[in-house]
Amino acid sequence: MSSVKLDLEYPRVDIRPMHELDLPVIAAIEKSAYQFPWSEGIFRDCLRVGYICRVIEVAGDLGGYGIMSVGAGEAHILNVCIRDEYRSRGFARKVLLYLLERARGAGMSEAFLEVRPSNLAAARLYHSLGFEQVGIRRGYYQATVGREDAAVLRRMLSDHKG
């Protein structure tokens, strides 16, 4: 695994609550990252219903975001996205670890997420954080031609610290 130079390259990296004023930038990041992006309205709904919505700021620049729901003893990581120029620098890992800690702090015993099997970088990151595949959702994602399955991943929270 390559070393991450977060503190050397970017002196200020903060995770803070997402605000409605962030939504145009978040929607632009989402649109640049995904062929079938969430709309600004979906992000607004996530804020409205009280999901854990966070952004990562890199030297004051909005570099990405993470959204998670919690309830009934489990967390569901719904969306994590890092702006293109900040990818492969450890920021997605930082957001995910933050969300997992929030889930653990809220008393959740496990966390779930879905990933496209074709998204190898994301799948590698999730597995490196202790997520294991527990199922497949057939035809879960929109795709250029038809639908793509989602791998359902789970991480137990009670026996992990990092």
Q: Name the residues annotated as catalytic.
A: 114, 126
Q: Is 152 helix (H, G, I), strand (E, B) or coil?
A: strand
Given its phi and psi angles, is residue 58 left (phi above 0), alpha (psi -120 to 50 degrees) or beta? beta
What are the strands, taking DSSP E only, across the chain? 13-17, 52-58, 61-71, 74-82, 110-115, 132-142, 147-156
Name every residue whose Cβ is closer than 8 Å to that of residue 30 and which is 6 or more positions away in sequence. 37, 38, 43, 79, 81
Q: Chain centroid to CA 27: how far?
A: 14
